[in-house]
């Protein structure tokens, strides 16, 4: 995120992208099933899929569609086709909206379909605000990666400081992985498909493991030249863990396993950030009065990781208290994505200062 804000996201709750595998309530509603069947027959040329439909019934269905124009017919609008919507998936969406409107009119509760709320599309985008806020998360991490990479090249080639370069490299990996993670999060929320969902999960998991590599390199001082062998071994361990994780999912896709695995890694990461922040704060203390040091800007910046981890975790409470989308657009998950934007803006400046005043200033090491 994960450090980057995306890693914190999955750290406490599991994956912010987690969905239930069990069928949602809406999936089992007879009216929803009948609606999808009708739409498939009259707009997707899907009559052959339903041998129980007689010629008389088919004629009545087509007549009703001609008179009411209840369902959108082919070809779909260019923006829907561009985003990957196909006829049956579009039927599914329309029926979700019909059923939801009917339930609201009857005073019944809004239910989920396929593990998601029945959002209203905007320009064909399936989850507008989650998509928008995923894009908003991408830029801080992308800018952070560019900053870490620029510092890495300076330390590597110009200043010849291999230890600072190694630390910037570890932090750059965090920014790069998080950037890709938010790209795939954006694609997933644009239009939910099985392939996009898997990529979303894979890269979300990669942000957690890359965050562990970054903070592990810093906390255990693996960036030191004398620890090159240990850093290489740690890197191989991290890569091996991730490969095993992906292979496990490929063999048996389990949301429960995925969540537990990432919670364990994410909590380990958060603990190391807390310990690192406390250690660096103690190293720089100048007064016997802790309140004085906490108010000293030359010292209290070391506690930024604690503040950011707590902030992201609090923002994640939106995920714990899920609610139907406001105006059919803004749900808890989208709000959570919004809350992860600002912490990322502070992570990378902190990382730079951490290297400049920590790694390069040997009196603190």
Domains in the chain, number: 2
Q: Are residues 59 and 180 in the same domain?
A: no
Q: Are residues 219 and 132 in the same domain?
A: yes
* Six token digits for residue 357: 């005043």
Instruction: Give the chain's length.
Output: 365
In a domain, 100, yes or no: yes
* pLDDT tens digits, one per residue of 235-251: 999 999 999 999 999 99
Q: Are residues 201 and 267 in the same domain?
A: yes
Q: Are residues 170 and 49 in the same domain?
A: no
Q: Are residues 179 and 214 in the same domain?
A: yes
Q: Are residues 12 and 101 in the same domain?
A: no
- What confidence category does residue 140 fall into, taking pLDDT thresholds of 50, 70 and 90? very high
Instruction: Provide the sign of the torsion angle of the four alpha carbons 282, 283, 289, 290, taken in this order.
Output: negative
* pLDDT tens digits, one per residue of 116-128: 899 999 999 999 9
* pLDDT tens digits, one per residue of 148-184: 999 999 998 877 899 999 999 999 999 999 999 999 9
Count of C-beta atoms within a 10 Å radius of residue 255: 18
Q: Are residues 332 and 228 in the same domain?
A: yes
In a domain, 72, yes or no: yes
In a domain, 111, yes or no: no
Q: Are residues 101 and 153 in the same domain?
A: no
In a domain, 348, yes or no: yes
Q: Are residues 164 and 284 in the same domain?
A: yes
Which range marks the domain in which residue 173 is found?
A: 5-19+126-364
Environment class of residue 48 by beta-carbon count within 10 Å: exposed (0-12), middle (13-18) or buried (19+)?
exposed
Q: Are residues 100 and 237 in the same domain?
A: no
Decide if pLDDT at 2 tops 90.
no
* C-alpha to C-alpha distance for 245 and 226, rounded to whole angstroms: 31
pTM, entire model: 0.86
Mean pLDDT of 127-136: 96
Q: Are residues 183 and 205 in the same domain?
A: yes
Average pLDDT taken over every residue of the chain? 89
Q: Give the pLDDT of residue 160.
A: 82
CATH number assigned to the domain comprising residue 300: 1.20.1070
The answer to whether the CB of 51 falls within 8 A of the CB of 306 is no
């Amino acid at each position: 995120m994960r450090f980057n804000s995306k890693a914190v996201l999955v750290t406490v709750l599991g994956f912010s992208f987690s969905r239930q595998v069990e069928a949602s309530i809406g999936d089992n509603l007879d009216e929803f099933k009948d609606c999808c069947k009708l739409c498939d027959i009259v707009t997707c040329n899907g009559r052959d899929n339903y041998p129980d439909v007689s010629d008389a019934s088919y004629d009545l269905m087509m007549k009703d569609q001609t008179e009411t124009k209840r369902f959108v017919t082919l070809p779909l609008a260019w923006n829907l086709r561009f985003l990957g919507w196909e006829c049956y998936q579009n039927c599914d969406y329309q029926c979700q909206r019909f059923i939801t409107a009917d339930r609201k009119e009857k005073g019944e509760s809004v239910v989920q379909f396929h593990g998601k709320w029945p959002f209203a599309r905007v320009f064909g985008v399936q989850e507008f605000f989650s998509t928008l806020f995923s894009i908003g998360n991408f830029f801080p991490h992308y800018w952070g990666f560019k900053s870490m990479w620029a510092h890495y090249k300076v330390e590597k080639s110009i200043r010849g400081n291999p230890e600072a370069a190694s630390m910037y490299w570890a932090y750059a990996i965090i920014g790069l992985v998080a950037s890709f993670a938010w790209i795939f999060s954006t694609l997933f929320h644009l239009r939910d498909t099985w392939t996009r969902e898997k990529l979303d999960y894979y890269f979300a998991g990669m942000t957690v493991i890359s965050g562990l590599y970054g903070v592990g390199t810093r906390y255990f001082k693996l960036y030191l030249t004398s620890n090159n062998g240990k850093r290489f071994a740690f890197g191989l361990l991290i890569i091996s863990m991730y490969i095993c994780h992906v292979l496990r999912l490929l063999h048996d896709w389990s949301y429960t396993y995925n969540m537990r695995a990432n919670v364990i890694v994410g909590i380990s990461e958060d603990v190391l950030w807390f310990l690192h922040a406390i250690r660096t704060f103690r190293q720089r203390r100048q007064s016997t009065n802790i309140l004085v040091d906490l108010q000293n800007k030359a010292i209290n910046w070391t506690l930024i990781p604690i503040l950011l981890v707590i902030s992201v975790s609090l923002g994640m409470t939106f995920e714990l208290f899920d609610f139907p989308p406001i105006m059919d657009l803004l749900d808890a998950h989208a709000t959570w994505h919004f809350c992860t934007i600002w912490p990322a803006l502070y992570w990378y400046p902190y990382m730079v200062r951490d290297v400049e005043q920590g790694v390069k200033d040997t009196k603190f090491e």
